[in-house]
Chains A and B, each alone.
Chain A
Amino acid sequence: MTYLSSALLALMQQDTPKPKVPESPHFWMPTSSSTFAEATDWAFDFVTWVSAVVTIGVVIAMTLFCVKYRATDRSKNEQPTGNVDHSNVLEIAWSVIPLPFVIAFFVVGLQGFINMRTPPKEAYEIHATAAKWSWMFQYPSGYTTNELHVPKDRPVKVIIEAQDVIHAFYVPAFRQKIDAVPGRYTHAWFEAIETGEFPLFCAEYCGTNHSDMITKVVVHEKDAFEEWLEEAERKEEEEGLKNPVAYGETVYKQAGCATCHSLDGSPKIGPTFKGLFGKTERFTDGTTAVVDENYLRESIEDPQAKIVDGFPASMPTYKGKLSNNRLRALVEFIKSQK
């Protein structure tokens, strides 16, 4: 997908107001809205308690010594009341006592980290694309949004890519973050445990509007999510059917046809759509056919039926993945590419 297309998509979807940070019951942390928030917060609190004891201990000792051993008049030449300048017992003690604590920190952190980095196999997959300066999320049906919609109580794996520079996917309420790196996929998974809306930030500096690369995660009830998705798609289609060519272009980008089919006449993995309609096509088995609506439909739903000469049989089937309306719009769009 090109930068331009995602910019267009971003334009198509309305500008949403800044998300609200939900009121949190914790002082330090945002709401604990995913399954691993609790473990992370526990680790955070554990380190906080130990840190507080150490810091307060140091400050108290320091203050106490300053008060107790304070000297003001140099001409009195007072000498220290003791002059011990080393103690191996003490040195060993304060090297060894912190050891179990740091080991515990390490282990707790490792456990949490492994969990965060290991998505369950059955996780619901959503593709995210980060680009200066917006997010795009694509659901399995090919439907896309700028806000991330997820079901509650179901593991979700977000597969992330970046188009231009490094960004980072960060949902504080889920305690999850991962960089979006151009040229490779990264992923983050989580399982939301409460419905509502939570801010989603870009956490890796990416230029002028980095700080506006904020959107929200909307967590739906598990069942309501499917309904929401269907409804949203239906609405989009309705809108789209008023202008099938434009809608077809959206689908062309959303469904990933653009990675293999160009609009400018140059062959990519598959043939270009330019001037396709009405052309006479030769196939690998030697037969020919004139490209009409039925042929287009068949090519999309059953691409292996006829393989265009000179191209590999590598097109995936879209049967069952595209609704009837989307299919129609696609056909209209291809027809319009003269």
Chain B
Amino acid sequence: MASTTTSPEAFGSATPSTSESYLTNERGFLSWLLTLDHKRIGVMYLMGVLFSFALGGFFALAVRTELLTPGHTVMEADTYNQMFTLHGAVMVFLVIIPGIPAALGNFVLPIQLGAKDVAFPRLNLFSFHLWLIGALFLVLSMYLSAADTGWTFYTPYSTTTTTAVIPATFGAFILGFSSIFTGVNMIVTIHKLRPPGMHWFRMPLFCWAIYATAIMQVLATPVLGITLLMLIVERALHVGIFDPALGGDPVLYQHFFWFYSHPAVYIMIVPAFGVISEVIAAFSRKRIFGYKFIALSSVAIAILGFLVWGHHMFTSGQSVLAGTIFSAISFMIAIPTAIKIFNWLGTMYQGRIFLDTPMLYALAFLWVFTIGGVTGMYLAVMSTDVHLHDTYFVVAHFHYVMMGGAITAFFAGLHYWWPKITGRMYDEKPGRIGAIIVFLGLNLTFFPQFIMGSQGMPRRYYNYLEEFTIYHQLSTVGAYLMGVGFLLAGINFYRSLRKKPDAPKNPWGARSLEWLTTSPPPYYNFHKPPVVDFGPYDYEDLVFDKKLGGYVHKSEAKS
């Protein structure tokens, strides 16, 4: 199956020096904005994602601050409604969906495969430009009058509110294309650009995860695109599609929306599984347990993920039969997910576990994601879902999965690959403290939300009954704490950038190919093409070199 790698000359870019790192071989703003180098595109995505994360975090804190007291605290109801909509839209469309696949994936995946770039570098750049344009539309909508619909844009509210829904949905529409193009690129890259020796089951699990994600991106996102387009058409031209006042069906919108957005949940979390597999194995110094099960369970989740959208609609008046089918299939997803968690534990068993920052985030992930996963079952049990649907229980559940799962994994990956991306080691101590604070903050923010949710506190409430005050206040304190944790991580990264490159090739002793090349890698990724005659988790061949501060192959080790 393996095939040749494309040389960068073939797609007509200036020939940079082969010896210099990708960061320094060309200079100037345009050398970044118009680059075809997957690493630079990945870094630009990363900057965009981190900036958006700060923005989305700001909106989250605005929401939590308002909820410190029932009724008016710092803003009006309409502003609050815009804040939670912006928070959701920014975090979903600008942060989590592109976070691991487009930012980390772009940078890491081609190198992990041993390729010089992705299959379609121009398409890759185009997808980043689309991301920028989509983001600009979201910003434009904020400037005009930010949408107040929730990130779900449910009709007929979204077709009748006076806020700027069209720019916001158009932004999401464009971001969808960005996501589709990234997906196409990843699929083709994995199929076509693996060098000799890199057969399917020698790929690191991160590649498997990105592969499963890419399939979902390509198959599901067009549905979102069409749905949002229909919404725009209805709003602009008053064609009755979803609005019953025009003869449309509002529940149809929900079917369309969740047909995309449930797979989107897996677009957000499956890449996280990939990162966690890499980190847990590398920091346990032990071959990953159940490689094939982890790899194929991602694919199973990707397929099943298409068949469960109706579990968001048990209380929409949907028929009992439909509910039954959606509930049953939703439970089936629990199994491949459980398999992964147990396999990660199996990897740690009898390993030599180093508790560096990426591993701390990965452990936080294991803990928090397990809670996120089991609380999903309450929502798949139809009778309890009737009670819990649209309450804070659901908010807590998906934040445990999205924030505790996807974002925690993103930070695990960011710390893990930071030396490779920037060539600098960050300071371990603040890194670890940051991870611990984030973990504590996360639980303090979202655990009280389970309690108030099951007690009946509905979501998207500006005002609330006095009885829920204490839970809201705990949650707000937790959110601030989490903010402190992320700020600490941010400062730590920033400080590392101000020093000279000091990262060894392989600080963690990982075995996937990106650790064979220099940190940061040269333009062509490798100084000489890697020979792949080992597995991605064969750590026993590596030894630590104290002078380098990193690992080298046994054969290169000077005694």
On A, residues with C-beta under 8 Å from B are 18-21, 24, 27-30, 36, 39-40, 43-44, 47, 50-51, 54-55, 58-59, 61-62, 65-66, 69-72, 74-75, 77-87, 90-91, 94-95, 98-99, 102-103, 105-106, 108-117, 164-166, 168, 170, 172-173, 175-179, 181-184, 186, 199, 201-212, 214
Q: Which residues 150-168 in B have Cβ within 8 Å of A in the complex? A: 150, 154, 156-157, 160-161
Checking B249, B316, B374, B387 against A55 with a beta-carbon cut-off of 8 angstroms, the contacting residue is B374
A83 with B544: CB separation less than 8 A: no
> Which chain A residues lie closer than 8 Å to B551 at the CB level?
74
| A110 partner, pick from B377, B382, B389, beta carbons under 8 A | B382
Q: Say whether A165 contacts B156, CB under 8 Å.
A: yes
Across-interface contacts of B383 in A (CB, < 8 A): 36, 39-40, 43, 108-113, 115-116, 175
Chain B's nearest CB lies how many Å from the CB of A114?
6
Known: A95-B335, A184-B317, A203-B391. A80 touches B546 (CB 8 A): no
Choose one: A43, A58, A182; the contact of B156 (CB below 8 Å). A182
User: Which among B332, B352, B367, B458 is the interface contact of A62 at CB below 8 angstroms?
Assistant: B367
Across the interface, do B374 and A86 meet the contact criterion of CB distance under 8 Å?
A: no
Q: Which residue of A lies closest to B451 (CB)?
A: A28
Q: Which 7 pairs show the lowest CB-CB distances between chains A and B?
A: A112-B383, A183-B244, A172-B456, A109-B381, A113-B382, A51-B374, A211-B461
User: Bound state CA distance, A292 and B339, in angstroms?
Assistant: 80
Cβ of B428 to closest chain A Cβ, rounded Å: 12
Is B462 among interface residues, defined by CB-CB distance under 8 A?
Answer: yes
Q: With the chains together, A43 CA to B327 CA distance in Å?
A: 14
Please report which residues of chain B, range 342-397, place their CB below 8 angstroms from some CB of chain A when the two chains form the complex: 342-343, 345-346, 348-355, 363, 366-367, 370-371, 374-375, 377-378, 380-387, 389-391
Report yes or no: B290 in contact with A86, Cβ–Cβ below 8 A: yes
Please give me the residue from chain A that is nearest to B350 by CB atom: A82
**C-alpha gap A287/B546 in the complex (Å):** 112
A47 near B353: Cβ-Cβ < 8 Å: no
Q: Which residues of A contact B316 (CB under 8 A)?
A: 179, 181
Number of A-B pairs, beta carbon distance below 8 Å: 285
Q: Which residue of B lies closest to A169 (CB)?
A: B315
Q: Which residue of A lies closest to B324 (CB)?
A: A110
| CB contact under 8 A between A175 and B375, given known A94-B338, A182-B244 | no
Chain A residues with CB below 8 A from B150, complex form: 205
Pull 5 A–B residue pairs with CB atoms less than 8 Å apart, ordered by A: A69-B350, A71-B354, A114-B320, A175-B386, A208-B81
Chain B residues near A94: list those with CB within 8 A.
338-339, 342
- Chain A residues within an 8 Å CB radius of B293: 86, 91
Q: Using CB atoms, name the residue of chain B closest to A113.
A: B382
B460 CB–A CB distance under 8 Å = yes
Mask of B454-473 contacts with A, CB within 8 angstroms, 1/0:
11101111111111000000
Nearest-Cβ distance from residue A332 to partner chain B, whole angstroms = 34
Q: Are B287 and A83 in contact (CB under 8 A)?
A: yes
Quick one: given A66-B348, A201-B458, are A86 and B292 in contact (CB under 8 Å)?
A: yes
B341 touching A58, Cβ below 8 Å: yes
Smallest Cβ-Cβ distance to B333: which chain A residue: A102
What residues of A have a CB within 8 angstroms of the CB of B339 in the complex? 91, 94-95
Q: Which residues of B contact A51 (CB under 8 A)?
A: 371, 374-375, 377-378
Measured CB to CB, the nearest residue on chain B to A182 is: B244
- A91-B343, A108-B381, A181-B244 provided; 5 other pairs, C-beta below 8 A? A28-B451, A70-B355, A74-B509, A74-B551, A91-B293
The interface residues of chain A lying within 8 Å CB-to-CB of B366 are 58, 62
Q: How far is the CA of A203 from the CA of B453 in the complex (A)?
A: 11
- Beta-carbon contact of B320 and A74 below 8 Å: no
| Chain B residues within an 8 Å CB radius of A54 | 338, 370, 374
Residue of A nearest to B453 (CB): A28
Write out the residue numbers on chain A whose beta carbons fall within 8 Å of the beta carbon of B323: 113
Residues of B within 8 A of A168 (CB): 315, 390
Indicate whether B78 reaches chain A with its CB closer than 8 angstroms: yes
How near does chain B come to A318, taking the closest CB pair, in angstroms? 29
**CB pair B386 A116 closer than 8 Å:** yes
Query: Chain B contacts of A50 at CB under 8 A?
Result: 374, 377
Please determine whether B462 and A211 come into contact, CB atoms closer than 8 angstroms.
yes
Q: Complex Cα distance A70/B286, Å? A: 13
Q: B77 near A: Cβ within 8 Å? A: yes
Is B351 within 8 A of A177, CB to CB? no
A2 to chain B, nearest CB (A): 12
